[in-house]
Chains A and B, each alone.
Chain A
Amino acid sequence: MIHPIPPGTRDILPDEMRELRRLRTALREVFEARGYGEVSTPAIEYDEVLARGDGRTAGSAYRFFDESGAALALRSDMTVPIARLVASRFANAETPLRFSYIANAYRAVRPQRGQMREFAQAGVELIGTPAPQGTAEVVEVLEAALDAAGLNRAVIGLGDSDLFRQLLTEMGVEGEARDALIERLAMHDLVGLEFELSRVEGIDERQRQTCLALSQLRGGSEVLARARELGGDAVERATARIQETYDELRARGVADRVQIDLGLLRDLGYYSGAILEVYDPAVGHILGGGGRYDDLLRRFGVDLPAAGFALYVERLHVAQMEEESRRGGEER
């Protein structure tokens, strides 16, 4: 008899489990070796606690009531629960604090390979070290994690989440027009962006072109020079922030796999400053992401800068298999 399970969830059988466990072990070793002790938090939290961390998306897609009528929610990532944990248990601890996790999270996505509604994330949080050192350390751990997973072709995109918000403020674009532009940028809908820009009053053609050009600037450190040519305080500040991080990465010898990307805009509400995305050429989906969230801890009553990343474990596994079959194909 077949008994169904909810869409977007799945059973994992021994062959896959064995491979996943090997991957998890490799990641765990990287995290622990760099001083990121593993933590575990409950999969269910109070809805208002999660919403405090990410009010814009209001926490989780799965909410329900417990026996006393309190609203509970399934976590949609580990960053917010760890912010909660730090504020509650490490408020007066010496910083920086380093934590890692490999845990399930829950989102109402459309299920497909490597993207389920219940999925495992592996990541770290570095709390108390500001940019650029903190960001660079996180990227360093991320690179080591990718290497440990055997994904040595993977690339890390580095952008700045404040760039467009500050740029639009500088241009005097507010309210609905601003939201529409940010939405187009986040969706990377260039046609829509061009259309929305044409409707904004009070900005000139040069400013429109600046927005469009910035969203497409990605590559090595030379794109920072090209961005600066576009001019403006907001661009100047964002490129200076990225440059600092990039220099720090170079000093640590981990800049080679980093692609600077001024068009990067992640859809989570709590990012500030640097943002990261992870790609592998063998897979069409992003493998993970992260960045800085210097304001997140304050929402929980502890004013500490923070940065981190999360990798989707199942997608790493997909990438491992694709890379293996590619290597096999080359050998034949």
Chain B
Amino acid sequence: MSTEVAGLGGAKAGGPLKLAVPRGALFGETLDILDAAGIDTSAPRGESRSLIFPGEEITLVTMRPSDVPTYVEAGAADVGITGKDVLLEQADRVVYELLDLGYGRCRMVLAGRKGDERLGEAQRRLGMMRIATKYPRIAERYFERSGRQIEAIEVKGSIELAPLIGLADGIVDLVATGRTLEENDLEVREEIVECTARFVANRVAHKLRAAEVDALTTKLREATAA
């Protein structure tokens, strides 16, 4: 569906397309899928501590996954890759979600201590649960939709700690293998949503660099299907 806008030659933005690449858990698989899509990733794979890796057609910009929507919404990056968990938590950021890349699959869950009734007790007797999480907006929306009241406690570090020493009755967190929960004597009580890596675009870049964005979307779609 790539389209060159007729008569818009003068309006086409110059320079390579800037792609925001998430460091952290999604980094390796993101580079793999970019490789499969024919984009050179040898530079970011190297020892370099640079954050920006210029290329002929695409410049890779590496950053925290949670910063990707910020850069893409502002147009500092034209397109980007990040987790659905990040997009849901920052739902007020306006970016176009173009493709489910399928990898980085994990579940957003409500977890509590094994064999412990605190979650239910707190809800029944105190009318609300205290939930520790790095995703307060996802948690609030989820419980609001299911008609329950919570106090979302935002923590930045190891969430598992919170119910173990009495900061919270339960946690809302992202679970890949479940091993961390297991090791901390926690168990999944409810599944909230499944999250995978997503390809997103700035809304102006999606219009003004349509041909490049569509070509990259197609290549990523093929790489994902392979």
Q: Is the CB of B207 within 8 A of A261?
A: yes
- Interface bits A144-180 vs B (CB < 8 Å: 1, else 0): 0000000011110100000000000000000000000
Whether B73 sits at the interface, judged by CB under 8 Å, is yes
Cα-based distance from A282 to B7 in the complex (angstroms): 18
Q: A213-B1, A220-B5, A220-B6 are in contact. Are A281 and B12 (CB under 8 A)?
A: yes
Q: Is the CB of A155 within 8 A of B8?
A: yes
Smallest CB gap from A157: residue in B: B207
Q: Is the CB of B207 within 8 A of A222?
A: no
Contact residues on B (Cβ < 8 Å of other chain), bracket: 20 to 34
- Interface bits A280-293 vs B (CB < 8 Å: 1, else 0): 11111110000000
- Interface bits B202-217 vs A (CB < 8 Å: 1, else 0): 1111111010001000
Q: Is the CB of A219 within 8 A of B99?
A: no
Cα-based distance from A15 to B74 in the complex (angstroms): 25
Contact among B6, B99, B207 for A279, CB-based, below 8 A: B207
Q: A281-B208, A284-B73 are in contact. Are A188 and B5 (CB under 8 A)?
A: no
- Interface bits B9-35 vs A (CB < 8 Å: 1, else 0): 011110000000000000000000000
Q: Is the CB of B4 within 8 A of A284?
A: no
Considering only residues 268-282 of chain A, those with a C-beta below 8 Å from chain B are 277, 279-282
Cα-based distance from A219 to B1 in the complex (angstroms): 10
Q: Is the CB of A220 within 8 A of B1?
A: no
Binds A, one of B90-98, B105-113, B162-170, B174-182: B90-98
- Interface bits A62-96 vs B (CB < 8 Å: 1, else 0): 00000000000000000000000000000000000
Residues of A within 8 A of B207 (CB): 155, 157, 218, 259, 261, 277, 279
Closest-CB distance, B35 to chain A (whole angstroms): 23
Closest-CB distance, A95 to chain B (whole angstroms): 33
Cα-based distance from A203 to B12 in the complex (angstroms): 38
Contact among A155, A223, A281, A283 for B3, CB-based, below 8 A: A223
- Interface bits A190-226 vs B (CB < 8 Å: 1, else 0): 1110100000000000000000010011111111000
Whether B198 sits at the interface, judged by CB under 8 Å, is yes
Smallest CB gap from B70: residue in A: A112
19 contacts between A and B (CB under 8 A): A110-B92, A113-B74, A155-B207, A157-B207, A188-B206, A190-B96, A191-B98, A213-B1, A218-B207, A218-B210, A219-B4, A220-B6, A220-B7, A221-B6, A259-B208, A259-B210, A277-B207, A283-B204, A285-B204
Using A187-B97, A281-B12, A286-B204 as known contacts, list a sample of 4 further A-B pairs with CB atoms less than 8 Å apart, ordered by residue number in A: A154-B11, A191-B99, A217-B3, A257-B11
The 6 closest A-B pairs by CB, nearest first: A284-B75, A220-B6, A219-B3, A281-B13, A188-B96, A256-B7
